[in-house]
Amino acid sequence: MSAPAAPLSLRALLPLLPALALFGCRQDIGLAQAARCDGIQQSGEDWVDQAFDRDGDGFYDGSNADCINAYPADKLDCEDTIAAVNPTATEIACNELDDDCDPATLDASDDDGDGFLACEDCDDNDPLVNPQAAETQCNFINDDCDDNTADGYDADGDGFDSCTDCDDTRPYISPDSSEVFCNSLDDDCNPSTFDFEDRDNDGSGSCDDCNDGDATISPLLAEDCDTPEDDNCDGQANEDCAIDWSGQYTLDRAVSKYCAFGLINFSFGVMEISSAGTSLSAFSYPYTTPPGTLGGSVDADGNFSATVTYKGGCTEVYTLTGVFTSETTFTATFSASYTGSYPNCGIGADDCSKGSPHTWIINGTRK
């Protein structure tokens, strides 16, 4: 079945529709072209000068000459496509818009006067910091405002750069390492962490202290001549403790002997002692033979012994044994011995080997 035919009146208008539509469009175009920014609401405008307030913020296109003539400056819009931009708006920093339409109001300040606004200057209080500055190593400042420019380098790859790593050439040295004793390195980059232990708390560490369990033994101490230890850790015990015992010592009793018809004849009340290190010699003063010069040694504690032997038909042996009780006194035993075939050492009461005394307990005091 075919569609019903249109009424006669409508059929009569159908050929005219394209012409009517074209007429309407031409009328709208004419209104738009005829619109002027004049402060008067024209026919076809929803509000006054609608075509010149495109963002609808109540301010008119400041680039249009008619608007400039029709409105005061505070009603002119410097950006008529953004409603948030107009003379009553507040300037928003660093959005690259003249929000308040006032060129005198900066989009950002340059507080440090380095030529870079706060929007691009990562520290606008320091003129040495800006996008054109060179990065200074290890000052903990982003001098060039570039986060990709390192403030320091990690040459040894241990995760710590040269700013925090006290030795950036050794990966085993870093603030994250443990201190290793006695390697002469600051392994943990902490000067307050000692390179040594000090178990006896004598101020000298285990690296240099030859006995870190005894506070009286340390390289920081002087040698103690009253102990057998190496008190100052120099590898020697009592090396500086040798006393020069040399001098003339007055005896508290005379040492006298006469026998063999006067061949043995001495008497003295003074002994001359000479010492050098551990060597010691002694003789009567004034010098007589016998007993002559006795040679021997002295130890660090002052114990000494010296002797002399004269061989012959009557062999004579003289011995001095004792100890220095101070730097100026000693106590000792002087002894004489005579051996030989009859009658070389004398006859009868004059026989040196039979006579007495043969020993003398003496005490000497240095003059």
> What digits encode the pLDDT tens for the residues 36-46?
999 998 888 88
pLDDT for the residue numbered 18: 45
pLDDT of residue 19: 43
- Predicted confidence band of residue 59 (pLDDT cuts 50, 70, 90): very high
Q: What is the pLDDT of residue 149?
A: 79
Bigger pLDDT: 226 vs 310 = 310
Burial class from Cβ neighbours inside 10 Å (0-12, 13-18, 19+) for residue 165 reads buried
Distant-in-sequence, close-in-space partners of 62: CB < 8 Å, separation ≥ 6: 68, 76, 77, 78, 80, 101
Q: Using the predicted structure, report yes or no on whether residue 284 has a pLDDT greater than 90.
A: yes
Q: For residue range 109-137, what is the model confidence (pLDDT) as tens digits?
A: 888 999 898 888 999 999 999 999 998 88
Backbone angles phi, psi at 34, to 5 degrees: -80, -15
Give me the pLDDT at residue 360, please. 97
Task: Say which range, 96-100, 167-171, 206-210, 274-278, has the weakest mean pLDDT.
Answer: 206-210
Instruction: Quote the pLDDT of residue 321.
Output: 98
Identify the band that residue 315 occupies on the pLDDT scale cut at 50, 70 and 90: very high
Query: Which residue reads 């057998």 in tokens?
Result: 228
The three-state secondary structure class of 66 is helix
CA distance 257 to 358: 8
Distance of alpha carbon 332 from its chain centroid, rounded? 60
Dist CA 151 CA 285 (whole Å): 86
Closest CA to 301 of 284, 271, 283, 326: 326
Q: What is the pLDDT of residue 208?
A: 85
pLDDT of 181 strictly over 60: yes
Residue type, 117: L
Alpha-carbon span 50 to 37, nearest angstrom: 9
The β-bridge relationship of strands 247-259 and 76-77 is: unpaired
Task: With a cut of 90, say whether residue 94 has pLDDT above it.
Answer: no
Specify the pLDDT at position 107.
81
* High-pLDDT (> 90) share of the chain, %: 49
pLDDT tens-digit readout, 15-43: 544 444 444 434 444 444 567 999 998 88
Q: Give the H or E element holding residue 228.
A: none
If DSSP codes are grouped into helix, strand and coil, which group holds residue 359? strand
Say which DSSP state 80 is in: T
Q: Is 52 exposed, middle or buried (0-12, 13-18, 19+ CB in 10 A)?
A: buried
* Of residues 348 and 102, more confidently modeled: 102
Which pLDDT score is estimated for 22?
A: 41
pTM value > 0.85: no
Q: How far apart are CA 159 and CA 140, in angstroms?
A: 17
- All domains in the chain, ordered by first residue: 247-366 (2.40.160)
Question: How far is the C-alpha of 221 from the C-alpha of 43, rounded, in Å?
Answer: 111
Mean per-residue pLDDT, 323-350: 90
Ranges 161-165, 335-339, 345-349, most confident: 335-339
Mean pLDDT of the chain: 86
Of 200-214, 256-270, 302-316, 319-333, the poorest mean pLDDT is in: 200-214
- Other CB atoms closer than 10 Å to residue 303's CB: what's the count? 12
- Look at residue 118 and give its three-state secondary structure: coil
Question: Are the CB atoms for 260 and 350 separated by under 8 Å?
Answer: yes
Sign of the Cα torsion 215, 220, 225, 229 reads positive
Enumerate residues 6+ apart whose C-beta is below 8 A from 86: 57, 58, 59, 77, 78, 100, 101
